[in-house]
Amino acid sequence: MSKWTERLKETKLVKGVIYAIVGVFSYPGLCIINKLKISGTENIENLPKQNVLFVSNHQTYFADVITFLHIFCAVSWRKKNRLGIPFYLLWPFTRVKYVAAEETMKNNWISKLFTLAGAITVKRTWVKDGKEVRRNLDPSDTRKIERALQSNWIITFPQGTTKAFAPGRKGTAFIIKHHRPIVVPVVINGFWRAFNKKGLKFKKRGTLLSVTFKAPLEINYDDTTENILEQVMDAIEQSRKFMLKGKHHHLAHTH
């Protein structure tokens, strides 16, 4: 891709048009077909416009991120813990990027379009002997994220998978330790029940979708990456101590 195309892709106009298209089509699924409960937006309304990292658990490829974009735009229009009528799509908050697996974003025209909304694509897997092997972020991917942090909010999913209670990846902790962003933990629920894995088709209508923004973490940036990662996984309620509670919660809703 040429530098000119890259620059065009980054303009507020192009991103704004993509946000508006994605927003108009996704809004009914979040607020009419299902019910969206937002809490904690007071923790994000006065954040700086750069060097902020949102860390979240992950339940679908696209619906989670799309919901975050709706909320960030609504908050920029001074809405508290609600979306209301999406007038915010007329002038969206576009200084947001999100970390996504390169192989996911090449799948179809929808994912390619959504890449323009601010994807930082990273190589999460490689194929060895016909099998996919998972890995941590490689240095070039880490640099991409660090560069983006200089002028954006970044959304990342430390588990890199939609599987509940999967271990977190050290790449996230490495970025926190070396770039020292404000780290805002987010806990989501209901998306796995309402949508398919990609988050583009409905599985169960009338589902309560919840998004909770917690207060920014107090992090000792000089701590080890292991300890920082443990703090992050606790904050997004995906650590070992939440596992038993989580399994019980999931079972209660699948019977």
Query: Alpha-carbon torsion 237, 242, 247, 248, what sign?
Result: negative
* Confidence band for 195, pLDDT divided at 50, 70 and 90: very high
Distances (CA, A) of 142 to 21, 79, 103, 168: 30, 33, 17, 15
Contact between 126 and 133 under an 8 Å Cβ cutoff? The reply is yes
Mean pLDDT of 173-187: 95
Average pLDDT along the chain: 86
The rounded radius of gyration (Å) of the Cα atoms in the chain is: 17
Question: pLDDT at position 57, please?
Answer: 96
pLDDT of residue 106: 74
**Beta-ladder partners of 39:** 212
Taking Cα atoms as reference points, which of 30, 51, 16, 44 lies closest to residue 215?
A: 44
Rounded to whole angstroms, how far apart are CA atoms 85 and 16?
Answer: 17
Q: What average pLDDT score do residues 168-192 get?
A: 95
- The pTM for the full model equals 0.87
Does the structure show a pLDDT above 80 at 11? no
Q: Name the pLDDT band for 41 (thresholds 50, 70, 90).
A: very high
**pLDDT tens per residue across span 205-250:** 999 999 999 999 999 999 999 999 999 999 999 988 888 775 544 4
Distance between CA atoms of residues 82 and 71, nearest Å = 8
Whether the pLDDT of residue 64 is over 50: the answer is yes
- Burial-class residue 103 by CB neighbours within 10 Å (0-12, 13-18, 19+): middle
Q: What is the mean pLDDT of residues 45-64?
A: 95
Is the model's pLDDT at 47 over the cut of 70? yes
pLDDT higher at 250 or 200: 200
The residue-averaged pLDDT of 122-130 equals 56
Highest mean pLDDT: which range of 103-107, 108-112, 163-167:
163-167
User: How much is the pLDDT for 192?
Assistant: 95
User: What pLDDT is stored for residue 160 in this prediction?
Assistant: 86
